[in-house]
Amino acid sequence: GYFYQRVVECLYSSKDLQGIELIDSYVFNQVEHIRFNSTVGKYVGYTEHGVKNAEAWNSDAGILAQELGELERVCKGNAANHY
């Protein structure tokens, strides 16, 4: 069988909202293929397929804006729950 997983996590390094990092990882058969890191501000591919997707997704400003919107909506919106 096949195993697909998408893991979105917020990392909180300080109580101010500037220290929040969003990590959005795409995993297939226990191998991470691509990751968005809000600190880097773009997708990074780790496999041949992931590199191709990262190039395509990074060239689309709408996709990047959507990920950064997730940082605002999900991570910053739930910061009080985390602390």
pTM, to two decimals:
0.85
The CATH number that applies at residue 62 is 3.10.320.10
pLDDT in tens, the chain (83 residues): 899 999 999 998 877 777 899 999 999 999 999 999 999 999 999 999 999 999 999 999 999 999 999 998 988 888 877 77
Structural domain range at position 60 = 4-80
In whole angstroms, what is the distance from residue 35 CA to residue 44 CA? Answer: 5
Confidence (pLDDT) at 44: 97
In the chain, how many domains are there? 1
How far, CA to CA in Å, does 72 sit from each of 16, 24, 67, 79? 13, 14, 9, 10
In whole angstroms, what is the distance from residue 25 CA to residue 69 CA? Answer: 16
